[in-house]
């Protein structure tokens, strides 16, 4: 978590472990960012087998082991709430060598750019090559973080070079937070927020 805080550019953050509990303290302005430090941040790339727009109230984010298929939710085209049926993880986040937040000047929005390990790059090429021969929605590759589909871009050809991009409704801060989480890897345990204490003047 300390490494994540540094990678996210959070200054003055203190992480303390005592009696089995972890306390993250910092500026009140960084409250959301402090909470994000405890996110598991388990990323996986899953081929899509089905997708349909649903009512937001009826869609729940689910999670499953990497070796199992998954039905979960995310934001689809035109910001519509979409339920996705996904295959098992084809490329795990552990094959990410580097993640970096960047401003896409062409569209004026923030993205997270990924660079894979040599093994991950080959897996990405193989899977995208297979998906490119499919019809919609089986030609989509869902990028799933802790069970939520961040984006599910269509694949029209094998993607070589070992790089990918995550786009969405990112601000500079949220893009940097996600890049920090992915750069430092998923937490080995799932944490649950127990309380938030606001100190006057803090």
What is residue 167's predicted lDDT score, i.e. its pLDDT? 83
Residues 6 or more apart whose CB falls under 8 angstroms from that of 168 comprise: 75, 150, 151
Higher pLDDT, 8 or 188: 8
Average pLDDT, the chain: 81
User: Any idea which residue has 């000047």 for tokens?
Assistant: 105
111-169 pLDDT, tens digit per residue, is 999 999 999 999 999 999 999 999 999 999 999 988 989 888 899 999 999 999 888 77
In the chain, beta strands by DSSP E: 14-18, 21-25, 43-53, 70-75, 81-86, 91-92, 96-104, 109-116, 141-145, 148-151, 163-170
pTM higher than 0.85 for the full model? Answer: no
Q: Which residues pair with 22 in a beta bridge?
A: 17
Instruction: Tell the burial category of 164 from Cβ atoms under 10 Å away from its Cβ (0-12, 13-18, 19+).
Output: buried
pLDDT digits (tens, 9 = 90+) for 4-39: 566 556 566 666 777 666 666 665 555 565 555 555
Is domain 42-184 classified as CATH 3.40.50.720? no
Task: Kindly list the domain boundaries of the chain, sorted by start residue.
Answer: 1-38+187-202, 42-184
pLDDT digits (tens, 9 = 90+) for 73-115: 998 777 789 999 999 999 998 999 998 999 988 888 999 999 9
* Rounded Cα gap, residues 6 and 189, in angstroms: 20
Tokens for 51, please give them: 């997708």
CA distances from 98 to 47, 70, 158 (A): 22, 26, 21
């Amino acid at each position: 978590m300390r490494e994540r805080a540094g990678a996210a550019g959070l200054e003055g953050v203190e992480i303390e472990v005592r009696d089995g509990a972890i306390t993250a303290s910092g500026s009140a302005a960084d409250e959301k960012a402090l909470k994000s430090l405890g996110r598991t941040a388990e990323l996986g790339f899953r081929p899509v087998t089905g997708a349909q727009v649903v009512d937001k109230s009826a869609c729940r984010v689910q999670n499953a082991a990497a070796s199992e298929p998954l039905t979960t939710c995310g934001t689809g085209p035109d910001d519509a709430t979409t339920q996705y049926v996904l295959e098992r993880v084809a490329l795990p986040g552990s094959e990410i060598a580097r993640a970096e937040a960047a401003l896409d000047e062409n569209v004026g929005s923030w993205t997270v750019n990924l660079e894979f390990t040599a093994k991950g790059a080959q897996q990405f090429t193989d899977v995208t090559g297979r998906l490119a021969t499919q019809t919609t929605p089986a030609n989509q590759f869902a990028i799933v973080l802790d069970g939520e589909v961040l984006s599910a871009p269509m694949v029209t050809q094998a993607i070589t070079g070992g790089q990918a991009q995550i786009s969405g409704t990112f601000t500079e801060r949220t893009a940097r937070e996600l890049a920090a989480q992915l750069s430092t890897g998923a937490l080995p345990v799932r944490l649950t927020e127990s309380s938030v204490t606001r100190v006057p003047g803090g």
